[in-house]
Amino acid sequence: MPRIRLADRVAIARAERTANAALRPRREISAREGCRVVVDGRTLTSFCGNDYLGLGQHLDVVSAFQEASAWHGVGSTGSALVTGHHAEHAAFEREMAQWLGYERGLMFSSGYQANLAVMQSLLTEGDVCVQDKLNHACLIDGARLAGCELKRYPHLDVEAALRQLMSRRDGAAMLATDGVFSMDGDRAPLADLALVARAQDALLYVDDAHGIGVLGPEGRGSLAVAGLGAREVPLLLVPLGKAFGGQGAVLLGSEALVGHVAETARPYLFSTAPAPAMAAAMRASLKLIRTESWRRAKLASLVARFRRGAAALGLPLQESFTPIQPVVLGDNARALAASRSLEAQGYLVSAIRPPTVPEGQARLRVTLSVDHGEADVDGLLAALAEAVKAAPAPLPA
């Protein structure tokens, strides 16, 4: 077999991505004020960020970050088990655990890191992890890196999840799911999954990145909507880069489970801890999430307005009643053309293509935020109708 040069492999892969309209260049944001962003010198109205509650630039949150940075610096100086665990981290972990009814919290630098840590710490060869096929990549990658058997059931198919758990041999079992799916915006059937996990003696683990802060009383997320708590969902992940408007994640669970992750998970042990200032900022976000229910009310109103308008215009809608409103166009080139048309009209909406979504399901992922107004939504709808109509239909196979 001839030797392969990595440079050749990279060049071939890029050529394939180019041919399939799958290149993914980064956009440089030079300024942001609410939902307005400056890209390449143009001010656009962004409908593709995840700052659902508008807390990323809230004065209380920014002030908490600045004050904590002035006192404690911009870095944590080390991993959490050496010198990186600060009083601000500890306070935030306690407040999160109390808010959501868990014994202990553990703060990570990112949700991706947290999911790798959980899977590698708790699962090993001979175990099984059963997951929804549309789970976020970090849940899937975490199971693969853990060395356990990964089984993926069709989206939202509770009976298939049950069959996969029933077919396992010896070893421990975990049933893992997103609370709200990041590309489709629909909610996992958590109450049914909790029954399946209990019946099959599997640990139910929920990543509620896109549900926390947005759904339920006080924004307590997908679990609260489903009437579940720590007994039914022993491990819950709360990422902070969406409704919290910041960065990082908090793992919540029992003292035994979270303590085990803290003491054994390589991604946690060998990573520098988050900045204390970020923990301080996220404490400010938590207070706003709990007390300012008008943010969720406004967001729900904007979602309903978008869906009514999209239906009236005949736009292809998914069954989503969260701030994530995908407009599935199917073909990569068509999604890119629609995205460019929107940008020409003053709106930033990214084209989401494989491997982020399955083949043939390229889309515009519209996300709504408290920073938007009704006029913004109405303007986007008019621009969407024009963009989708103008986008070329896919060529016949």
Q: Which residues are catalytic?
A: 182, 210, 242
Binding site as annotated, residues for pyridoxal 5'-phosphate: 111-112, 182, 210
Binding site as annotated, residues for substrate: 24, 136, 356
Under 8 Å between Cβ of 345 and 383 = yes
What does residue 128 show for φ and ψ, rounded to 5 degrees?
-130, 140
Under 8 Å between Cβ of 341 and 388 = no
Q: What is the number of other CB atoms lying within 10 angstroms of the CB of residue 273?
A: 25
Binding site as annotated, residues: 24, 111-112, 136, 182, 210, 356
Q: Strand 29-33 to strand 203-207: parallel, antiparallel, or no bridges (unpaired)?
A: unpaired
Extract long-range pairs of 191-195: CB within 8 Å, 24+ residues apart. Answer: 191/226, 191/227, 191/228, 192/158, 193/158, 193/161, 194/226, 194/228, 194/232, 194/233
CA gap 252, 216 in Å, rounded:
18
Q: What is the number of other CB atoms lying within 10 angstroms of the CB of residue 234?
A: 19
CA gap 357, 348 in Å, rounded:
19
